[in-house]
Structure 1
Amino acid sequence: SKILCFFCFCFLVIEEQCPEFTDLNLGHAFSGTELHVQLLLYTRKNRDCAERLIENNVTASEYLNTTKKIVFVIHGYRPTGSPPAWLGDMQRLLLSSEDINLIIVDWNRGATTVIYRNAVENCRKVAEILKNYIDQMLVGGASLDSLHLIGVSLGAHIAGFVGQKYKGKLGRITGLDPAGPSFTGEPPDHRLDPTDARFVDVIHSDIDALGFRKPLGTIDFYPNGGTDQPGCPKTLFSGLGYFKCDHQRSVFLFLASLKNWCDLITYPCDSYLDYKRGKCMDCDAFQPMSCPVVGYHADRWKKLLVPYSSPTTAYFDTSGKDPFCMYDYVLEIITWNKSTRRGFIKVKIMDNAGNTVESQMSSEASTFQQYESVKILTGFPRDIEKIVKMSLTFTTKSLIGPRRKLKVLQMKLKSVNNSKRPQLCRYDLTLVENTEVIFKPIPCLEKGT
């Protein structure tokens, strides 16, 4: 409120505050909260001040335009009661990417509790409330195909329950690490399912703890195999971040896809192990589409599927920092050691300016046998357009015994992200264990490589 004065007259002007996401605390979590849902609408006309939709009079909204796409963002379990840390970025980036109706579904009262099961039981109630809002939007001119529900953890299953109510005719559901506890092992009508929308894309980033392991969508993305995410704490001494970092990574990968700093390209594959062995780098088998990208633009891939294929799993690696870009290469090696060698290879690439980028080392040892080709997927957090030097380091990670040698008959390095770049080769190298060998690669001699 403020006082405005004109001449000898003063007026008290009461300014209406912008509706905000419910902010609770740990005390509310221990005492428990009764379910209350509010829908906060943002558009490009009211980016900085939400409009609270009226539950039984949605058409009275000043800003809702039912001729445009309607995107719902549904959060999950809130054990401490605070608003999600990612909420502001989600709002800003979604509205920057597309002219949409963005609706933040705030069910913090109902999600804030130390008893996880209570929050789970509220999920179907939230879905029923959302159906009431959506029904009014449909009467007001919206179409089911224009609806996109983005659900985080428990929110992913809420989105699935909404989709079930419309018999899978919603346009799209995005599940960001759907919750595993209380949902693993449940039948499809008790969780998110591929039939809940016309297109269901899911990012699994914590399948060994808080997330859901098995596929749930039209396409399921498993960054770094879906378990330990790079850059996340590895020990309990890191505090709360140890428990939530992997789980939240799905959200931050989705946000990264809205920043357009790089395409997070993924590779349809039967398993993460096959992906790491370089068996799934060529998307030609999936023509006429290219490799799918993860995140907001994943539906570009869907539009090329006519008709829809069976559910697809896709794998990709990321760096440990936002925007999580990774530039993939396939390293192919043929050795001529008479005896089998097992070990790891670290790769560095360099340009004329002296920039050097080091690859992530695979977590699984490769097996090198005489005259047999071994493919290793290797990724770099930064791209180098023109490689003038590179190095290989072979290690067995053994602390005892003699240093092994790996005799390389032929080495090839091929960019996965940019197929137009020349494939690089080197012939007749000897790698002594734990010793970096630097060399200048040359364009491969074979025709068609």
Structure 2
Amino acid sequence: MMDTQGNKVLFLFFLFLSIICLVVADTDEACSTFTQLSFPSAVVGTGLRVKLMLYTQRNKTCAQTISSTALGHLNVTKKTTFIIHGFRPTGSTPVWMQDLVESLLLVEDMNVIIVDWNRGATTLNYNQASKNTRQVASILKEFIIQMLVEGASLGDIYMIGVSLGAHISGFVGEMFDGQLGRITGLDPAGPLFNGKPPQDRLDPGDAQFVDVIHSDTDALGYKEQLGNIDFYPNGGLDQPGCPKTIFGGMKYFKCDHQRSVYLYLSSLRENCAITAYPCDSYRNYRNGKCVSCGLPQKEPCPLVGYYADGWKDYLRAKDPPMTKAFFDTAETNPYCIYHYFVDIITWNKNVRRGSITIKLKDRTGNTTESKIDHEPATFQKYHQVSLLARFNQDLDNVATISLVFSTGTVIGPKYKLRILRMKLRSLVYPERPQLCRYDLVLMENVETVFQPILCPKLQM
């Protein structure tokens, strides 16, 4: 009898161990990692191989390798976001990739799939990498077809493509007749794609909504419009905070190009919402001619990044449904700029041309400054000049304002700017009280500090 009882105990023990092993095997499976290559691999060249890595709320930091024959933990009833990197001349893992995955999963319960085509993107032969984009798209097509068989919807598929990855997204979208839910192109590659017809690059018809951030249009990025809405930070050229000379090393070559990714990442955080302004040119935006969105009776201003699709309903009234939007950024994360109008009426007898520097200070001593000098402003007697001021910091309770007027001349007489009225009004928060000051005389290159007063109600 003891032997029988002992056998039962032994059986239960091994059964318990088996169950534990099954649980461990299910929950602690090896995490899939991005293909890590090196510069020698780029010299030799790598044959194309695509690996799909799935992240979900269940596994935010531990990816599962999936394929068209093994969907794994992919829940086809949820939104699925594909992240597609670009050219990798050194073979390293994109430094922004894990941050982007985790940030996406923080804002929405979705599937996030990294499309790892590092074997095929790691090469010094950019021409070969660009040719591989078509094959990557074909592989993704087969995977999405299997998703559809399992019950997925094309409208729930979102592709975020970086550089060459943006065009891969476009090729996939074209294969599904533009029925993908959304494509975001982050500084789509320009070399070998500039001037190509729509079928050979990303274009607005590749998804139900296509938004693009152009951050390096004079080098590695694509200059012309590619989406329903195309955002041009700082005009799409040199980005603040990036090296201006070759002495900045590798950062000099890739900083502007990568800024699009970091601007997108910023939109997933709560630090600020980057606002853009629809306009036909960067110059007109800087001159304050395109900042009416967001005002009463006007359409809202589009947001840059993840929430850009909130503006797609306003595109339907446009023919064609395409818009350019411009905005400026700070040098560092979270990159937000706060826009104000500085309205100045002068009473000088003679015309004055020059720039204005405005500094704001709150009651706790915080200060922020804007130098409006991209082109000289023309001040005429009794004529209002509205200057667009851009501040890195938003001050809710402005205690003092200072102004500096400059004509930019090094030698010669110093001029005065006689101000009949100065008014400061926030574009980001138009409901805030506007601040005024009357009868000021600015001596050239001399800072004039004053306390503003609330503007009369009739001017609100």
Same fold at TM > 0.5: yes
Pick aligned residue for 1:438 from 431, 445, 449: 449
**Which amino acid in the other structure matches residue 148 of structure 2?**
L
Residue 357 of structure 1: SS of its match in structure 2?
A: strand
1:332 matched to 2:343? The reply is yes
Q: 1:18-417 counterparts in 2 under 5 A?
A: 18-54=31-67, 56-57=68-69, 60-283=70-293, 289-307=299-317, 310-417=321-428
**Which amino acid in the other structure matches residue 355 of structure 2?**
F
- Greater mean alpha carbon deviation, residues 91-100 or residues 373-382: 373-382
Deviations 1:339-387 (A, max 9, x none): 3322211111111112111125442222223332222111111111011
Residue 148 of structure 2: SS of its match in structure 1?
A: helix
Q: TM-score, normalised by structure 1?
A: 0.93
- Greater mean alpha carbon deviation, residues 169-178 or residues 337-346: 337-346
Alpha-carbon spacing, 1:30–1:301, altered in 2? closer, same or farther (3 Å): same
Number of residue pairs matched by the alignment: 437
Q: TM-score, normalised by structure 2?
A: 0.91
Q: Is the 8 A contact 2:372 2:387 kept in 1?
A: no
Deviations 1:272-313 (A, max 9, x none): 111111112111689664111000011112145555653011
Q: Is the 8 A contact 1:396 1:433 kept in 2?
A: yes
Which runs of 5 or more residues in structure 1 are unaligned?
A: 1-5, 7-11
Could you tell me the percent identity over the aligned residues?
A: 56
Q: Is the 8 A contact 1:360 1:380 kept in 2?
A: no
Alpha-carbon spacing, 1:254–1:23, altered in 2? closer, same or farther (3 Å): same
Deviations 1:199-231 (A, max 9, x none): 000011111111111111111111111111111
- Greater mean alpha carbon deviation, residues 241-250 or residues 302-311: 302-311
Q: By percentage of residues, which structure has more helix?
A: 2
Deviations 1:209-255 (A, max 9, x none): 11111111111111111111111111111111111111111000000
**Which amino acid in the other structure matches residue 45 of structure 1?**
R
Alpha-carbon spacing, 1:132–1:362, altered in 2? closer, same or farther (3 Å): farther
Q: Is the 8 A contact 1:289 1:301 kept in 2?
A: no
User: What value does the CA root-mean-square deviation take over the aligned residues?
Assistant: 2.0
Alpha-carbon spacing, 1:398–1:242, altered in 2? closer, same or farther (3 Å): farther
Provide the rounded CA distance (Å) in 2 between the counterparts of 1:62 and 1:328: 47
Provide the rounded CA distance (Å) in 1 between the counterparts of 2:327 and 2:367: 23
Which residue does 1:3 correspond to in 2? none
Provide the rounded CA distance (Å) in 2 between the counterparts of 1:285 and 1:159: 35
Residue 41 of structure 2: SS of its match in structure 1?
A: helix
Q: Is the 8 A contact 2:345 2:383 kept in 1?
A: yes
**Which amino acid in the other structure matches residue 436 of structure 1?**
E
Provide the rounded CA distance (Å) in 1 between the counterparts of 2:365 and 2:294: 35
Q: Is the 8 A contact 1:289 1:305 kept in 2?
A: no
Which residue does 1:9 correspond to in 2? none
Which runs of 5 or more residues in structure 2 are unaligned?
A: 1-13, 15-20
**Which amino acid in the other structure matches residue 180 of structure 1?**
G
Deviations 1:79-105 (A, max 9, x none): 111010101100110111110010000
Residue 432 of structure 2: SS of its match in structure 1?
A: coil
Residue 157 of structure 1: SS of its match in structure 2?
A: helix
Residue 349 of structure 1: SS of its match in structure 2?
A: strand
Greater C-alpha radius of gyration? 2
Provide the rounded CA distance (Å) in 2 between the counterparts of 1:332 and 1:138: 56
Residue 346 of structure 1: SS of its match in structure 2?
A: strand
Question: Per-residue deviation at 1:441?
Answer: 1.2
Question: Per-residue deviation at 1:119?
Answer: 0.9
Alpha-carbon spacing, 1:302–1:406, altered in 2? closer, same or farther (3 Å): same
Deviations 1:391-422 (A, max 9, x none): 11112333222222222222111100001111
1:447 matched to 2:453? The reply is no
Residue 388 of structure 1: SS of its match in structure 2?
A: strand
Provide the rounded CA distance (Å) in 1 between the counterparts of 2:210 and 2:107: 20
Question: Per-residue deviation at 1:16?
Answer: 5.2
